Amino acid sequence: MAEHARSVVRAAAGCALAAAALAGAAVGCDDCNKKPEGEPTPDAAPSASASAPAPTMPMNALPIPAASVAAAVNPDKLPPYQGPTGSVEGTISVTGDEPPRVEASFTKCPDGERTYGRAFRTGPPVGGGRALGDAVVGVTGYSGFYIPEKNEVRTLTARECAFETRTVTMTFGQRLEVLNRTPEVLSPVLEPSPRPVVMIAIPGGDPVKLYLPKPGRYQVTSRERPWMKADVYAFLQPLYTASRADGTYRIDGVPVGKLRVSTTHPSFGGEDSKEVEIQAGVVAKVDLVLKYVTPPPAAPVDAGTDA
């Protein structure tokens, strides 16, 4: 179980999650339009809660046998954690080079450029760097028990030509629902998918339901706007979240003890982590920093010589 809970995901630009990270564990506009009353929690909300008692069986909102989900998230059949919990929060920042611009046309949807105009989103100055949005943040390092997911659904909301977050973290067994709060029809697509199906999200209508077939890294895209994307990570435990547009994050429901908080970003390599002592009912403060270095230009391809 120590290995089952130790390593945080490491992601390089455009690459899948490292298999070892998945085996060890697998915002948008905070001030955009206000969420209508009764709508699901925003995408960058804490990924775990200590308010409800822990379920005894792994969450399964997928059209697959519950035993398959349990075998993935709790292969050793460990008991669920029932002890006291604390929280961890902080800010993720980035140093180094500026994010490169994305080659895409936003003429029909200028608001989309605020979210997708660069390879990754940065915010105001923080310490010696800039706030980093959409970074993956996770807590690992516990052993002897497993932490069940308490929520059946993870929601991804589209507003004003953009998803409210570019990174979604969820637990394998949860269902992903895409809400369309834009004025136009949206066709969200899960990639990769064993059986791609075109589904339509009507403005203001019911969400499109997506089912992740196994732990790993996915992407939700839009057929109408190719640049409108969200990286989706299905982990084996719920103590993960994504940093908001201002770089802040918070994870609740963390078991007490000495653990590790780690971060990485879907758009570039690198990782930072720190040990933290979690105490019951206390919010620990952990700030982490990543560094972005512009990749060197690709070497010219030798076309060879004529025979």
Check: CB of residue 241 under 8 Å from CB of residue 31: no
pLDDT, residue 55, reads: 67
List pLDDT tens digits, range 89-103: 999 999 999 999 998
> Residue 306: which pLDDT band, with cuts at 50, 70 and 90?
low
Of 50-54, 83-87, 190-194, the range with the highest mean pLDDT is 83-87
- Mean pLDDT of all residues in 202-219: 95
pLDDT, residue 20, reads: 34
CATH number for 3-29+41-292: choose from 3.40.50.300, 2.60.40.420, 3.30.420.40, 1.20.1630.10: 2.60.40.420
Locate the domains of the chain by residue range: 3-29+41-292
Which residues is 259 bridged to in the sheet?
276
pLDDT, residue 32, reads: 32
- Mean pLDDT of all residues in 6-12: 38
Q: Is the dihedral of CA 269, 275, 46, 210 positive or negative?
A: positive
Of 35-39, 44-48, 126-130, 143-147, the range with the highest mean pLDDT is 143-147
Higher pLDDT, 94 or 52: 94
Residue with tokens 């990769």: 192
Q: Is the dihedral of CA 22, 192, 14, 304 positive or negative?
A: positive
Which residues is 221 bridged to in the sheet?
189, 229
List pLDDT tens digits, range 166-183: 999 999 999 999 999 999
pLDDT, residue 51, reads: 47
Q: What does the mean pLDDT of the chain come to?
A: 84
Q: What is the value of pTM for the model shown?
A: 0.81
pLDDT, residue 108, reads: 85
Higher pLDDT, 296 or 10: 296
Three-class SS state of 268: strand
DSSP state of 172: B
Q: How many CB atoms lie within 10 A of CB 135?
A: 28
pLDDT score of 214 more than 60: yes
- Give dist(CA 182, CA 200) in Å, integer: 13
pLDDT, residue 128, reads: 84
- Give dist(CA 60, CA 153) in Å, integer: 10
Output the six-digit token pair for 207: 């969400």
pLDDT score of 15 more than 50: no
Could you tell me which residues come within 8 angstroms of residue 213 by beta carbon, excluding any fewer than 6 positions away? 62, 64, 193, 194
Could you tell me which residues come within 8 angstroms of residue 79 by beta carbon, excluding any fewer than 6 positions away? 145, 146
